[in-house]
Structure 1
Amino acid sequence: MIFLSRSLVALGALLAATPALAQVPKLLPLPAELHAGQGRLAVTGATGITVPAGDAGARNAAERLSVLLDESRGLRLAIGTAGKGASIRFVRAATGKPESYRLDVTPRGATITAGDDAGLLYGAVTLWQALTQTPGRGPVTVSAFDVADAPRFGWRGLMLDSARHFQSPDYVRHLIDWMAVNKLNTLHWHLVDDQGWRIEIKKYPKLTEISGWRHPATAPGAPQLPKIGGFYTQDEIRSILAYAAQRNITIVPEIEMPGHALAAIRAYPELGTGVPIPPGTESDWGVFPWLYNLDDSTFGFLEDVLDEVIALFPSKFIHVGGDEATKEQWKGSARIQAQMKALGIKDETALQAAFMHRIAGHLTKRGRKLIGWDEILEGNEVPPDATITSWRGIEGAITAAKAGHDAVLSPAPTLYFDNRQGFSDTEPPGRGNLIDLKTVYAFDPVPDAIPAAQQHHVLGVQANLWTEHVRTEARAAWQTFPRASAVAEKGWSAKGASDFGGFVDRVIPQMTRMRDLGLNASFSAFEVQPSYDYAPGSDSVTVTLANQAGLAMRYTVDGGAVTANSPAYAGPFKATLPVALKAAAFKGDRAVPGEITRTITLQSLRWRSDEALKTCTSRVVLALEDDYPATGKRATFVSDIFNPCWLWEKAPVGGARQIAITVGQVPFNFQVGKDRDGIKFEAPTTPEGEFVVHAGTCEGPRVAVLPLAPAVGNPGLTRLVGTLAPRAGNETLCIRYTARGVEPIWAIDAVELVQ
């Protein structure tokens, strides 16, 4: 069989124009080679699966295929005999590089061929995708096709931060399942950080007894939230590791050092430099100054911990962090300074390098390799066989590769999935950068600055989900997919194999089939985003629709259901108020998730949530969750924590007599060092402070003042109402508040102009 070249597969227009090619399934990641065959294969409950006798890897792949088809279509195929109908065969034979496979689908059956267990499993995943191109239960028929496939990179990863917020073992298993069907193969498990210690270490039980739990931070006067936390027992970890191994996923554990050490020091204070830890510090976010000291007993503790980790995890890599280790406590410790002098170490950067060398030596003795964040490159004394996770952009990978070190590309903000995917009330809390699906897909893991002779040092690509602001498992899943599918394709498929439109065409059915595996993925890329142009006094509004994926959209303005026969959106349109707007993005004649319903009235046009406002600056913009109530829905506030200030552009102020601002308060629980002293507010004119509204710019005339007194002491939302100076037409409003300090942070939930 002649296979298509990668360049031909990338030509989506050719696929659409050629009937034979149009019959190939929409696979994700895009295979290296794909060709349409002749005829169709029917798979029913009578279809059997055969595996070579005694081949445990083939048996595992067959079982995974049977389970996936059962979950997606209710087809649990028997394994071991050919059955009465067509058969699916697993064959062990060389297919080239690791994880590669061939898949041949004909009217007589399907054959998956691979030289290793991973290839057999991925061939099964590809066949499952082909048999679930559309939702449905029961027998299925698929057009014949052939695939020859192999990954671009050997490291295709996700990082899960379980330290900031704990996820259940069941969720971790779900994540492993979702990774496997996207051909992701590495789970970097962030088990230790300042806020929590999540792995049972039998020699040091206080690590989990004390530092496995904390009370979330609350604003002054707000009720204390219940204690949260948890940890994984060693038996639970062994079970998860076995589960991952069946799905060709290596779990790389991370034990942070020398910084991000507060959890360990809380449990065993002798590990630190003696600087007291104020109560509740473990519930802060940011960069903490607490570091491990340099005593031999502390290194003994770390080596003991690593030995228990090594006994659990078979991964050849052990991640030891190395990031954000601010040095002020080392600088301020007479004991540390004396030790540095005795060792002939010139400065604290060189001290961290020596620290890492000692840890690397221990790992080497145990047959493992050190991997760390790109800060371990500093000081030009990197352990000789260290691998780098490049997170501060791509520069760490470039430096590492040129110096002969392997690297994994994981740059912030592009591959940091705590960044939000959109700005709407649908989005959960997170960092305020917009990192949408298209941005992730545009990233290429091999920087041009790495010389061709050194590009083999790029092991692959990894996205990270930090969970400071990801409190629930549902939010973790939303933040991860479908962006993780974009990472999967970038890690697997050839460079330039597909454009974003082709990826969207394949990721939509992928998210649909993954619902059967328990995933409720984000639909941010497909959600219709309306915007309105309204002139005060008019009886109509101009509506503009958009979506991130660039999909076609259809809409109605009378409250009717949106179907394939509804008007196609061709550009901004005018509608008479009130408008019962419904709109959805479409792929062909099918609506995709993200349909919206909006009732547009004069009142709604004079109302904006904080999601529709702009922050005046973009130093550290966060979408922060309210600290109240303990259970149930909480508000989310978008704010620049270094400058709480908002702009409502083109606000329809004409004719408005009052302005109402719904506000809430959250704690300033951020470790930002001396930067805290630089956060300045205008002095209040009332004891409790006030929200102040300026017209035009933040230096424009003051048009409203709303005292905060009614909100002080209320842990929930408070609606403040104030008189608005007469204005005309549309005008930008700048809204900020006065205060004597950063605690608490006041934030806006919504603003309304009242006639």
Structure 2
Amino acid sequence: MKHLMSLAGLSVAGLMLVSCNTQVKEANYQVIPLPQEISVMEQAAPFILSDGTKIMYPEGNERMQKNAEFLASYIKDLTGKSLSVQAGTEGKGILLQLGGSSENPEGYQLKVTDANVVISGPTEAGVFYGIQTLRKSIPVVQGMDIALPAVEISDYPRFSYRGAHLDVSRHFFPVDSVKRFIDMLALHNINRFHWHISDDQGWRIEIKSRPELTEIGSKRTETVIGHNTGKYDGQPYGGFYTQEEAKEIVAYAADRHITVIPEIDMPGHMQAALTAYPELGCTGGPYEVWKIWGISDDVLCAGNDETLKFIDDVLGEIIEIFPSEYIHVGGDECPKVRWKTCPKCQARIKALGIKGDKKHSAEAYLQSFIITHAEKFLNDKGRQIIGWDEILEGGLAPNSTVMSWRGESGGIEAAKQHHDVIMSPNTYLYFDYYQSKDVENEPEAIGGYLPIERVYSYEPMPKSLTPEEQKYIKGVQANLWTEYIPTFSQVEYMELPRMAALAEVQWTMPAKKNYEDFLKRLPGLVDVYDVYKYNYATHVFDVNAVFTPNPQDGTLDVTLSTIDNCPIYYTLDGSEPTAASAQYTEPLKLKENCTFQAVAVRPTGNSRIVKEDIAFNKASMKPVTMLQPVNKQYEFNGAPTLVDGLKGNGNYKTGRWIAFYKNDMEAVIDLKEPTEIQSASISTCVEKGDWVFDARALSVAVSEDGQNFKEVASEKYPAMKQDDKNGVFNHTLTFSPVTARYVKVTALTEHSIPAWHGGKGNPAFLFVDEISLN
């Protein structure tokens, strides 16, 4: 992983006061997540937080005592001050109390006068969130008193379920690291920790009645290198939590008003369990704990009564460890290929009278049988199940809560059926995705592209639901899968500061949300990250470069900005920019090939360099019209992307590519005057596992009037084979020189995915970037 520079000291310094020869620094209540109501009393005197300040809590309330001790430790971390904690409610200082006017159990009031700081809430959890707001408002400074301006804050969360997920199956993290993750959640007002503790690559929780699960299932012989390259590291890998360690983590989270929701994924993602108990699989094995990433065809045998007993045994011990109302049963990515040929599974289908229909196969309905069995077991013990949106397939168990990850459609469908929903769409909330387009300078990730701005933009209430249906949207969660995240330092890097954007989606009302304002508040939270030495990503402090094709002027217009309006310097000749380079003062209008580079220069250190190779051709910055639609999901900036002089890399989600699905690409470029050309080229991006395939044909036609076209060249390409590589493909047609004003470039999509692929027979996506005419 690249070690990125620390940006401590970036936040705008609080007001510095001088009082009785003691320097005082002022607190700032504009924190993340932003409270719902902040009323600062402009003329009133502030409360001075000094070494002698006391923190008081109601006598006999252990949870409130714990809250008081947390506040004292936070203030010591930020300021070095050691505040005393005492029972009672008399005297000056910081008073924590139950009560107040909030109807939301996690709401609070924070009232500051010159005599007292009072944090009140209907529950200890509400008071804890008031403490987090106070904590984040205090500047990070040693050796100074803190002035807390007189204020009244009334605050409460938008959603009752505010979750973050961590996968410890693909890579295992020790107890101290899991506790550190929980501390990160507390800082961001997150109250649910979804702990993914079993999968094909490792079983991570002790089950005393099934000891082989950890004796055998927690260890894999080695791990694949990279994206299933076929090469392995040769290093045995393992790790699991004893039940006592898991209970310790549950208690640690509970002290911070966080509920741990365990996930035992079933009936798929069970290869580690099958390695320990091969008789639970359809083939009987032998199996091995998986060394690769992906989805195994080997799943629990749904026709075997021993499978049902196994589920009961495991869940019976899980509920003894985890007191959460919800137990997550996965239910996702369960291939049915073994069930189709398994005599026991087919006998079960027959015995249950299951029939396939237009909506689902008989085997899909069989999965619902397994999930319903798990649900009934848990319901009988006073618990509820939650599962990924695949549990909708084959009919949803009656009391299930659905976690919608494959976009929002599963959540919308579940809400319409009056099931509770947690929104967790991969398109906005998968923190294992890249957070920069510059993937060469990022730690390896699963793919995708999810910058902090996109996380912040997420609105969890689908407009397609009625107000009554929207009531079933109970919360929001971000997920971190760890196939490519071997260290906890990298967990921090992938989570932060995207978790700050998540916090505001979960807590703050949409009318209060504003991304530009969020960016102004973020440096104050980053100062807190620095106190705890979190390894956060710093992309948000880099130069933000926006490239806009300008067909009118024939230029690529470049607009630069930074989060804190610091000076920006740039070069166009390939040399590294420094404070001695040209300073950016107004948008640049580029007309020719160049290597553009820019850097933000700050007293705390320079940002990373933003670099783009810009290549002009005869199509560049010209008007472009699409005769067939661009796919809405991957439209990004639309047709101008094809002629903006910027090349996409091997990640099709960066916005440098646009997609076509269920139709072909037909782009007409207006060269604005008759122009001679003799070649045309396009680039495509291929990721076969995601149904993203190469073009099947390319053709070029020319016209004088934009209506009547004559083809000048064409070429067909074979269907992709299983061993064809993923990545960027370039296609060029050359022809005798021809003069024309309008040029139509047509690329045919793969209309039927080949039989060797899991999506066989379906149309594929075609991702296209730069059209070059020369």
Same fold (TM over 0.5): yes
Residue 453 in structure 1 maps to residue 468 in structure 2: yes
Unaligned runs of 5+ in 1: 1-21, 534-541, 601-611, 622-637, 647-675, 683-690, 702-740, 743-755
The 2-side partners of 1:35 and 1:449 are apart by 35
Is the alpha carbon distance of 1:639 and 1:476 closer, same or farther for their aligned partners in structure 2, counting shifts above 3 Å?
farther
Q: Aligned partner of 2:237: which letter?
A: I
- Contact 2:166–2:479 (8 Å) recurs in 1: yes
- Contact 2:264–2:329 (8 Å) recurs in 1: yes
Partner of 1:408: 422
The 2-side partners of 1:693 and 1:700 are apart by 17
Is the alpha carbon distance of 1:245 and 1:639 closer, same or farther for their aligned partners in structure 2, counting shifts above 3 Å?
farther
The alpha carbon displacement at 1:494 in A equals: 1.1
- Contact 2:27–2:138 (8 Å) recurs in 1: no
- Contact 2:386–2:401 (8 Å) recurs in 1: yes
Partner of 2:185: 179
**Which of the numbers 710, 715, 722 marks the counterpart of 1:679?**
722
Residue 97 in structure 1 maps to residue 130 in structure 2: no
Partner of 1:46: 52
The 1-side partners of 2:606 and 2:192 are apart by 29
The worse-fitting range, judged by mean Cα deviation, of 506-515 and 250-259 is 506-515
The 2-side partners of 1:616 and 1:597 are apart by 18
Residue 330 in structure 1 maps to residue 339 in structure 2: yes
SS of the residue corresponding to residue 407 of structure 2 reads coil
Is the alpha carbon distance of 1:693 and 1:184 closer, same or farther for their aligned partners in structure 2, counting shifts above 3 Å?
closer
What whole-Å deviation, never above 9, does each CA across 1:521-567 have from its counterpart, x for those lacking one?
A: 1112222367999xxxxxxxx9967568696652377989769x994
The alpha carbon displacement at 1:338 in A equals: 1.4
Q: Aligned partner of 1:416: which letter?
A: Y
Residue 57 in structure 1 maps to residue 59 in structure 2: no
- Contact 1:43–1:86 (8 Å) recurs in 2: no
Partner of 2:621: none
Partner of 2:326: 317
Partner of 1:387: 401
- Contact 1:100–1:151 (8 Å) recurs in 2: yes
- Contact 1:159–1:462 (8 Å) recurs in 2: yes
Partner of 1:749: none
Partner of 2:450: 435
Q: Aligned partner of 2:447: which letter?
A: G
**Which of the numbers 155, 159, 162 marks the counterpart of 1:156?**
162
SS of the residue corresponding to residue 55 of structure 2 reads strand
The 2-side partners of 1:433 and 1:224 are apart by 25
**Which of the numbers 122, 127, 131 marks the counterpart of 2:134?**
127
Partner of 2:292: 284
The 1-side partners of 2:562 and 2:335 are apart by 38
Partner of 1:88: 94
Partner of 2:194: 188
The alpha carbon displacement at 1:138 in A equals: 4.3
The alpha carbon displacement at 1:443 in A equals: 0.7
Is the alpha carbon distance of 1:597 and 1:398 closer, same or farther for their aligned partners in structure 2, counting shifts above 3 Å?
closer
What whole-Å deviation, never above 9, does each CA across 1:422-477 have from its counterpart, x for those lacking one?
A: 12243221133221111111111111112111222111100111111222211111
What whole-Å deviation, never above 9, does each CA across 1:582-621 have from its counterpart, x for those lacking one?
A: 72277xxx87984449999xxxxxxxxxxx9634784999
- Contact 1:289–1:329 (8 Å) recurs in 2: yes
**Which of the numbers 100, 107, 114 marks the counterpart of 2:121?**
114
The alpha carbon displacement at 1:692 in A equals: 13
Q: Aligned partner of 1:291: which letter?
A: V
The 2-side partners of 1:412 and 1:387 are apart by 18
**Which of the numbers 76, 85, 89 marks the counterpart of 1:79?**
85
- Contact 2:431–2:478 (8 Å) recurs in 1: yes
- Alignment size in residue pairs: 605
The 2-side partners of 1:309 and 1:555 are apart by 57
The 2-side partners of 1:301 and 1:384 are apart by 22
Residue 555 in structure 1 maps to residue 569 in structure 2: yes
The alpha carbon displacement at 1:86 in A equals: 5.0
| Within-5 A mapping of 1:225-264 | 225-264=234-273
The 2-side partners of 1:142 and 1:639 are apart by 56
The 2-side partners of 1:501 and 1:620 are apart by 21
Q: Aligned partner of 1:444: which letter?
A: E
**Which of the numbers 278, 285, 302 marks the counterpart of 1:269?**
278
The alpha carbon displacement at 1:24 in A equals: 5.3
The alpha carbon displacement at 1:139 in A equals: 2.6
Unaligned runs of 5+ in 2: 1-25, 356-361, 549-555, 614-645, 656-684, 696-718, 735-755, 758-774
Q: Aligned partner of 1:274: which letter?
A: T
Residue 474 in structure 1 maps to residue 489 in structure 2: yes
The 2-side partners of 1:320 and 1:340 are apart by 22
The 1-side partners of 2:153 and 2:728 are apart by 62
The 2-side partners of 1:84 and 1:239 are apart by 35
Partner of 1:202: 208
Is the alpha carbon distance of 1:568 and 1:68 closer, same or farther for their aligned partners in structure 2, counting shifts above 3 Å?
farther
The worse-fitting range, judged by mean Cα deviation, of 554-563 and 88-97 is 554-563
TM-score after normalising by structure 1? 0.72
**Which of the numbers 298, 301, 304 marks the counterpart of 2:307?**
298
- Contact 2:36–2:156 (8 Å) recurs in 1: yes
| Within-5 A mapping of 1:5-24 | none
Q: Aligned partner of 2:123: which letter?
A: D
The alpha carbon displacement at 1:137 in A equals: 5.0
Q: Aligned partner of 1:97: which letter?
A: N
**Which of the numbers 27, 33, 52 marks the counterpart of 2:31?**
27
Is the alpha carbon distance of 1:693 and 1:240 closer, same or farther for their aligned partners in structure 2, counting shifts above 3 Å?
closer
The 1-side partners of 2:371 and 2:597 are apart by 59
RMSD between superposed Cα atoms in Å: 4.0
Partner of 1:490: 505
The 1-side partners of 2:168 and 2:87 are apart by 43
Residue 698 in structure 1 maps to residue 731 in structure 2: yes
The alpha carbon displacement at 1:573 in A equals: 8.4
Is the alpha carbon distance of 1:40 and 1:232 closer, same or farther for their aligned partners in structure 2, counting shifts above 3 Å?
same
TM-score after normalising by structure 2? 0.71
Is the alpha carbon distance of 1:83 and 1:340 closer, same or farther for their aligned partners in structure 2, counting shifts above 3 Å?
closer
| Within-5 A mapping of 1:578-589 | 583-584=599-600
- Contact 2:58–2:87 (8 Å) recurs in 1: no
Is the alpha carbon distance of 1:344 and 1:222 closer, same or farther for their aligned partners in structure 2, counting shifts above 3 Å?
closer
Is the alpha carbon distance of 1:572 and 1:84 closer, same or farther for their aligned partners in structure 2, counting shifts above 3 Å?
farther
| Within-5 A mapping of 1:737-752 | none
The 1-side partners of 2:137 and 2:654 are apart by 44
- Contact 1:552–1:569 (8 Å) recurs in 2: no
The alpha carbon displacement at 1:394 in A equals: 1.1
The 2-side partners of 1:267 and 1:430 are apart by 30
